[in-house]
Amino acid sequence: MLKTLAYAAAAAKSPLAPYSFERREPKEHDVVIDIKYCGICHTDVHLARDEWGGGIFPMVPGHEIVGVVTRVGSHVAKFKPGDKVGVGCLVDSCRVCDHCRDHLEQYCLNGMSLTYSSYEQDKKTVTQGGYSDKIVVDENYVLRIPGNLPLDAAAPLLCAGITLYSPLIHWHAGPGKKVAILGLGGLGHMGVKIAHALGAEVTVLSHSLKKQADGKRLGADHFYATSAPETFAKLAGSFDLIVCTVGTGIDWNQYLGLLKLDGTMVVVGVPAEQIPLAAFSLIGMRRTLAGSLIGGIEETQEMLDFCGKHDIVSDVEVIPIQKVNEAYDRVVKSDVRYRFVIDLASLKPA
Ligand SMILES: [Zn+2]
Ligand SMILES: [Zn+2]
């Protein structure tokens, strides 16, 4: 077994603290990864504090993992020691259901294995995430990081990047399309960069104009404050696609009114409240309200290659793991531009 150093939440609501555990010896198709950096996703905070219930403790969070391959199993064909690789939100799935066969493992009908607070496909071994010094993952669930991307800033692509890329591709963001990104945080800032690189006309809808200069720098063509009442009148019927990244309650009917005929609003952020909706917000202009969950392994690799080609990474604040609890409080307050990334070198004994 491989002794692994980590930070874990011992129980719901416990702060994260040093923890050690064992990972499996690599099997034939496994890759052993020396983790260099791991992004902090808002989901990590929700799960470590058990805000959605069902958390498995002790919990080592982290699903924006990048590192270097140190060992491979005897049958591994895709990777070799020294390769720069990533692991995102899932580490396995059933591989035989219709969705897995269609490269949509994130919608596995038999239950995917999430990277942490979940179970391996044996349905009994608990998975532990990237706030740790190493991870062992089947090669079919490991991604290749393009050589030109810095590892620290590439880490958030593994969740934030694919969470935005997948709906932007699915709903055809590109030249001639007007796309709005609602919320300019960890998810939203990736949405702006990717939608801009896809050739869409990009509008940021943010609570205030505080981040306007950033929005333009990230690639937005337009920037509007949703706190200004005239915004909704001015932009009524404007967009082909709105991607909603915010985790707070909004007036859904008001936002649907910003869509054109046949426009779609996609939910990727997770508000605590249920979504109240007036039927005519949809019926009036044949609009769609949809949702999207990360992306499959093949699409995640496609996203990484796209980001490599367009030099897209996340805007990050790199921290030592000892500051993780402080970072969690700042994530909740949206006090980060735009993603915390943990430098796992800080975990190793001096
Ligand atoms: Zn995430
Ligand atoms: Zn499946």
Tell me if 132 sits within 8 A of 58, measured CB to CB: no
295 Cα: distance to centroid of ligand 2 (angstroms): 14
pLDDT for the residue 248: 82
Work out the percent of the chain whose per-residue pLDDT is above 70: 100
pLDDT for the residue 34: 98
235 Cα: distance to centroid of ligand 1 (angstroms): 30
338 Cα: distance to centroid of ligand 1 (angstroms): 13
pLDDT digits (tens, 9 = 90+) for 265-286: 999 998 888 899 999 999 999 9
pLDDT digits (tens, 9 = 90+) for 181-197: 999 999 999 999 999 99
d(CA 344, CA 346): 5
Tell me if 85 sits within 8 A of 144, measured CB to CB: yes
**Per-position DSSP letters for 302-344, written without gaps between them:** HHHHHHHHTT----EEEEEGGGHHHHHHHHHTT-SSSEEEEEG
d(CA 146, CA 91): 20
Q: Which ligand approaches the C-alpha of residue 269 most closely? A: 1
**Per-position DSSP letters for 41-73, written without gaps between them:** -HHHHHHHTTTTS---SSB-----EEEEEEEE-
Confidence (pTM): 0.97
91 Cα: distance to centroid of ligand 2 (angstroms): 12
Tell me if 115 sits within 8 A of 90, measured CB to CB: yes
Q: Tokens 């040093």 — which residue?
A: 18
Q: How many CA atoms does the CB half-sphere of 283 hold within 13 Å?
A: 4
pLDDT digits (tens, 9 = 90+) for 130-152: 999 999 999 999 999 999 999 99
pLDDT band of 350, cuts 50, 70, 90: low
d(CA 126, CA 123): 8
pLDDT band of 57, cuts 50, 70, 90: very high
Residue 349 has pLDDT above 80, yes or no: no
Residue 95 has pLDDT above 80, yes or no: yes
139 Cα: distance to centroid of ligand 2 (angstroms): 17
Residues within 5 Å of ion ligand 1, judged at the Cβ atom: 41, 43, 159
pLDDT digits (tens, 9 = 90+) for 13-45: 899 999 999 999 999 999 999 999 999 999 999
pLDDT for the residue 270: 86
Work out the percent of the chain whose per-residue pLDDT is above 90: 95
